[in-house]
Amino acid sequence: MRFLRRENVAFAALTYEHLERGAEFAATALGLPLERFAKTLVVEVGGDPAFVLMPGDRELSLKKLARASGAKQAQLADSRDAERLTGYLVGGISPFGARRALPVYVDEALLRHEQIALNGGQRGVIVEVAATDLVRVLRATAHDLAADPSPS
């Protein structure tokens, strides 16, 4: 939240009792639509760390991420590396004010919403920010990163 204040970004801070990890639990606890709630993932693209912001109701396609980044492959970072790189605990990782500034990829479906909710850097703290502000301050690039739905 210090980062958002320093960047003059308007935001709303919301808190909930962090009983379970995951976007679905947080969105339900706060009464927010899961599709505008961003999961903050730490990934490695071509061996370099980055953030990916995915809608809570979608899964990341590592193949699409690799293609979007121009890398041969992409993978999720392990929890220990994610915490070391960001300075945040898993379940509260935020792309704002991380220990190390990382490139940010955002699934384009998130940007269909005026406001996006995402971790505020601590478990049980969510910030809502305008999608335009999120892209601007993080210099995020938008791509179709969602895995294709499984056939039923």
> What is residue 65's predicted lDDT score, i.e. its pLDDT?
97
Helix (H) or strand (E) holding 126: strand 125-130
pLDDT for 96-113, tens place per residue?
Answer: 988 888 999 999 999 999
pLDDT for 48-76, tens place per residue?
Answer: 999 999 999 999 999 999 999 999 999 99
CATH of residue 35: 3.90.960.10
Q: Is residue 77 part of a domain?
A: yes
Domain interval for residue 68? 2-143
Q: Is residue 101 part of a domain?
A: yes
Q: Is residue 148 part of a domain?
A: no
Q: Edge-to-edge, what's the strand order for the sheet holding 125-130?
A: 11-15, 125-130, 115-119
| Cα-to-chain-centroid distance, residue 17 | 20
Q: Is residue 10 part of a domain?
A: yes
Number of domains in the chain: 1
Q: Is residue 51 part of a domain?
A: yes
Considering the entire predicted model, what is its pTM?
0.93
